[in-house]
């Protein structure tokens, strides 16, 4: 949805059109557009000729922003979410160190790729994957 809106620039795109083009249910789009609008990533115009468009430039919206707003915090395991407060493991659990690094690496990549990067179809995304995978080393907090 967001990529299609980015492609449309300042043109308004209806949810029906996005649903048809992206093969995403209209009902699901209605659910996800509300938090995106509430967080000022999209804006809407009602009525004839209405629809949705990005509320700010594609260069200012990251994939991480979108996923976090629609789905919540990104973590490979539940106990790695945010500050590990939901972790039921022992306080000296060694896996926390690994999950913290994995979570940080995932979020770094997601927050480094913008909709503009996707529009430009640059090699930068491939470079980011390589750079980010080598940046993180296990470090104790």
Element housing 54 (H / E): strand 51-54
Helix 26-38 to helix 63-71 angle (10° resolution) is: 110
From the candidate CATH numbers 1.10.390.10, 1.20.120.160, 1.10.8.350, 1.10.10.10, the one assigned to the domain spanning 1-56: 1.10.10.10
- Give span(s): CATH 1.10.10.10, the chain: 1-56
pLDDT tens readout for residues 71-87: 988 877 777 766 666 67
pTM value is 0.77
* DSSP assignment letter at 69: H
Maximal C-alpha separation, the chain? 60
User: What is the model's pLDDT at position 10?
Assistant: 92
Question: How far is 54 from 44, CA to CA, in rounded Å?
Answer: 9
pLDDT tens readout for residues 11-44: 999 999 999 999 999 999 999 999 999 999 999 9
b/e map 48-74, b = 16+ CB within 10 Å: eeebbbbbeebeebbbbbbbbbbeeeb
**pLDDT band (50, 70, 90) for residue 141:** very low
SS3 28: helix
pLDDT tens readout for residues 73-130: 887 777 776 666 667 777 777 888 888 888 889 999 999 999 999 988 756 566 655 5
């Amino acid at each position: 949805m967001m990529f299609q809106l980015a492609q449309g620039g300042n043109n308004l795109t209806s949810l029906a059109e996005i649903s048809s083009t992206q093969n995403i249910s209209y009902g699901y789009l209605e659910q996800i557009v509300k938090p995106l609008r509430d967080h000022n990533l999209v804006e809407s115009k009602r009525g004839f000729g209405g629809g949705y468009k990005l509320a700010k430039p594609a260069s200012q919206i990251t994939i991480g922003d979108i996923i976090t707003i629609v789905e919540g915090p990104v973590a490979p395991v539940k106990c790695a979410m945010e500050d590990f407060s939901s972790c039921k493991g022992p306080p000296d659990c060694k896996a926390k160190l690994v999950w913290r690094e994995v979570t940080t690496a995932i979020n770094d990549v997601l927050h480094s790729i913008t909709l503009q990067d996707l529009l430009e179809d640059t090699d930068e995304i491939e470079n980011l994957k390589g750079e980010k995978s080598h940046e993180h080393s296990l470090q104790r907090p």
